[in-house]
Every structure is written in C-alpha cells, then in structure tokens.
Structure 1
Amino acid sequence: MADPGTPVPGLRERKKQRTRRLLSETAVRLFLERGYDAVSVAEVAAAAEVSKPTLFRYFPSKEDLVLHRFADHQDEAARVVTARAEGESPLAALRRNFLDGLERRDPVTGLCDDPAVIAYQRLLYGTPSLVARLAGWQERSERVLADALGGPAVRARLAAGQIAAVQRILAEENVRRIADGESADAVAPDAKEAAELAFRQLAKGIGL
C-alpha cells in the first residue's frame, strides 16, 4: 500500500516512468546479449520503437540507460536519515536499513543470487565506462547524505564518505562471493556479521 503522504504521480508522469523503464530494460537486454560496446544508442532506440532524440530526452548518456536500475537507490541513504524515527540516530537508521536490505536480498546490498541480477552486475562492473559513471552517482549520493546529516560541512562530508564507503565495500564483498559460486543463503550469515561489525566501527569513529 502506498504511503498516504506520498504524492501519486499523474498520468503524464506515469507514462514517462513506463517509457524510461522500457528504454532501460531494452538497453540492458541488448547489452547482455551482444555486449555493451557492440550496441549503439540508435539500436536501442530502434528496438524500443522510439526515435534517438526521444531516447536522449530520457537518458542523457548511454551509461544512464544501465544505471537507471539504481535510480531508486541513488538518494536512499539521505531519505533514510531524513525519515528516521524520533530518537533514532542517523547511523542506527542506516544500519537498520542495510540489515533489512540483506534480509530482503536487495540487489543493492550485493546479497542476491538471482541469475538476472548476477548477469547485470557482470555487465556493470565489467564495463569501465559504467564503473566510472557509477562513481559519479555515488559521489552525488554522498553529497546528498551529507546535507541530510547536517552540522559542520566538513564533518558531514567526512561522515557521509565513510558511510558510503562502508556500504559499498560490504556490497562488493557479497557480490564477489556470489559471483564465485556461493549462494545468497550461504553468504548471508557472514554478510550480516560483517555489516554489524562495520556499523560498530562507524559508530566509534564518527559518533553519529
């Protein structure tokens, strides 16, 4: 059920969302079938039955077609901090959210062994231009998180950077183990233990 406080998108926005999803899904399918560098933006547009200019109105770059799957997560840490319960610290809210993600096998935590997710991760992390673009997305997420944390700017930026790095490293370790053939269920106990350790270390180091 939708949050009553969340605005319901209008028809025009829903159509835009469907078009974005169609373009992204078409692109990822073609990239997985033929390789990222072997597929042009024009071919993606043709397969999705839109013009190339239309595609660029939705996605400024070829890389963005792939990273659209991260769109909902880009500012997630900042949203978690902003929406935390009264009396809950920012770090406690982020810890809770990450552990909940592990429990749900959320792909963003790396703890997901769905074959389609594994194939997408291979595409993403095996393509230098996508890795570079992802780094830009992560940098923006850190800036937005720093704003949500508040306080002195340098302190907030340092805290946001440390939090982002910890979550990235935890996810990368889960991705690595699953890519090596382990199941998500087999990795889960170690993933949870590592997350608890990481957030304890953060609590000692940044005091949030």
Structure 2
Amino acid sequence: MGAKHAAGGVRARAREVMRAEVAAVVQDLILERGYEATTIDDICAAAEVSRSTFFRYFPSKEDAVLGAALDSGERLRDTLAARPLSEAPWVAMRRALDPLIEHYEAHDERVRSLTRLIMNTPVLAARHREKNARWHGLLQPEVARRLDADPADRSDPRAHALIAAALGCVEAALTAWTSTDRPQALAPILDRAMDVPLRHK
C-alpha cells in the first residue's frame, strides 16, 4: 500500500511539473504573439507535446494561460482557515491573500504583462471571473464560520458579500497594478483597495 501511495505521489508531482511547464510555454507564446494569434498547434509544437497530451493537462487554451492561478483557491481557503479567529473576518481575508500577492510580485514584470493581457482580453477576463466564482464557493463555508453564520443558510448574504467584495478588491488592485508600465508594489495597492494598514507601517 505504501509503495502504491508513493508511486501515486510521484506521478502527481510529475503531472504538476508538466502542467507548469506547458503553462509557461503558453504564457510566453501569447506574450510574444498575442492570445488570438497563438494556436493550440503552436503551443504543442513549442512545448513538444501532442494535442491529446495538451488537452490531458488543460481543457482549453484559456485554462493554460491562467495556469496555477486556477488551482490557488484551495490554498487561499486553507490560509484563511489558519488565520487567528481573533482577527476580524475582513482583515483575515486580506492577510490570507498575502501568498497570492507575493506570487504575483515574485515574478513582477512578466506576471504584470500577463495579468494586463488577461484583464484586457475578453475571453481570458471571463475565464478569470469564472475562477473567482469557483473560489467564492470554496471560501464561503470558512467565511460563514468566522461570521458565526450558517453556511447552508442561503438567506444570509453576509459571507457572500464579504467574499465578493474581497475578490472585487483583488481585481481592482490587479487592474491598477497593470495600468501603467511603471513598476509598483501590488500589496500596497490591495491594502488601499481593502483599506487595511500596511503590514510594515
């Protein structure tokens, strides 16, 4: 049983590495050529994979462009769950977003260019919002818990409102972050959007 689990873990890690490599190829191509001008065949040629292999990793070109961002909802939920219960729910949500913001800032110029392209390409912006809708569902039980609300009570709008407001602030911050070619830190922009004091103030 242990050997099976180990083999499964190796395969899962190999799959994640391959997904990341293909996503990086897709992102490089669309930054160079533009989204519409980049075809699946172009991607497969550059990544040296077949079409069937590409679609085994990603259901669409849009999903490949967004890459790891699509898989970040679980990490955001787990980070929020680990925040102290003494924090106000809004502050806990802001702090839970720190790893996501750090990911954006770690690859500053490339990620800024990619984010700008996503925000300005309708089909990618739509997929980005679908991702936010999925995150909304993942976060709702934990936010409801912090609000002393019943996660199953659909008549209580508070958890949904808080999540929608937070993710809206993230989108507004990303739009502002990519609005100019001048390098700027993303965290203070999100702090301003969410009106949370800077951590190192």
Matched, 1:160 2:182: no
Structure 1: gaps spanning 5 or more residues: 1-6, 201-208
Name 1:47's counterpart in structure 2.
46
Deviations 1:125-149 (A, max 9, x none): 2221111111100111112111222
Q: Is the 8 A contact 2:77 2:139 kept in 1?
A: yes
Counterpart CA distance in 1 for 2:100 and 2:17 is 25
Name 1:145's counterpart in structure 2.
139
Q: Give the counterpart letter for 1:159 in structure 2.
A: L
Q: Is the 8 A contact 1:20 1:58 kept in 2?
A: yes
Name 1:67's counterpart in structure 2.
66
Structure of higher RCO (CA pairs closer than 8 Å, 6+ residues apart): 1
SS of match in other structure, 1:170: helix
Change (3 A) 1:196 1:34: closer
Q: Is the 8 A contact 1:124 1:130 kept in 2?
A: yes
TM-score normalised by length of structure 1: 0.73
Counterpart CA distance in 2 for 1:85 and 1:162 is 21
Counterpart CA distance in 2 for 1:129 and 1:101 is 22
How many residues end up aligned between the 2 structures?
182
Q: Give the counterpart letter for 1:184 in structure 2.
A: Q
Pairwise CA RMSD of aligned residues? 2.9
| 1:7-22 aligned within 5 A | 10-22=9-21
Matched, 1:134 2:128: yes
Q: Is the 8 A contact 2:29 2:38 kept in 1?
A: yes
Counterpart CA distance in 1 for 2:99 and 2:89 is 15
TM-score normalised by length of structure 2: 0.76
Structure 2: gaps spanning 5 or more residues: 1-5
